[in-house]
């Protein structure tokens, strides 16, 4: 029944915000002393832990110089909802080159005394080379 009064209808749409899906740079291995850039996406704001960073820890990208093996955590937040993602950085020590040599007439036997080496590149000064760990050269 309409008495000449106005009828008003209002509709509201409620959107439930879910936790953001934070996508983070993949786990990696770097050399000691390297600068690593970590980038996250999928949220409006970010909080990074642990440690010391070369720039702000509230943006989607941070730079760090990790030591040892370390796991970084980022918390991404959108509309009050948060999710957490981690990345592990393994730091390989720098190699240290060292060797000894024994000379017998024209033959030289080289012995590798290096630390943390995984491949070798010898240059003997006359154009001769070797990739053996402990080469002999005439």
CA-to-CA distance for 31 and 95, rounded, in angstroms? Answer: 9
Provide the CB-side half-sphere exposure for 132 (13 A, CA).
Answer: 11
Residues 8-50 pLDDT 10s: 777 766 555 566 777 777 888 888 888 888 888 888 888 888 7
Asked if 94 and 33 touch (Cβ cutoff 8 Å), the reply is yes
CA-to-CA distance for 64 and 28, rounded, in angstroms? Answer: 13
Answer whether residue 101 shows pLDDT above 90.
yes
């Amino acid at each position: 029944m309409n008495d000449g009064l106005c009828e008003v209808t209002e509709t509201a749409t409620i959107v439930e915000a879910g936790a953001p899906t934070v996508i983070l740079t993949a786990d990696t291995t770097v050399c000691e002393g390297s600068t690593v850039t970590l980038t996250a996406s999928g949220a409006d704001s970010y909080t990074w832990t642990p440690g010391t960073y070369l720039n702000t820890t509230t943006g989607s990208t941070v730079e760090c110089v990790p030591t040892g093996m370390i796991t970084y955590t980022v918390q991404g937040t959108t509309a009050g909802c948060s999710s957490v993602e981690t990345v592990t950085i393994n730091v390989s020590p720098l190699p240290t080159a060292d060797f000894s040599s024994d000379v017998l007439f024209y033959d030289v036997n080289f012995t590798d005394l290096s630390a943390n080496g995984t491949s070798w590149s010898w240059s003997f000064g006359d154009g001769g080379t070797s990739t053996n760990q402990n080469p002999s050269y005439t």
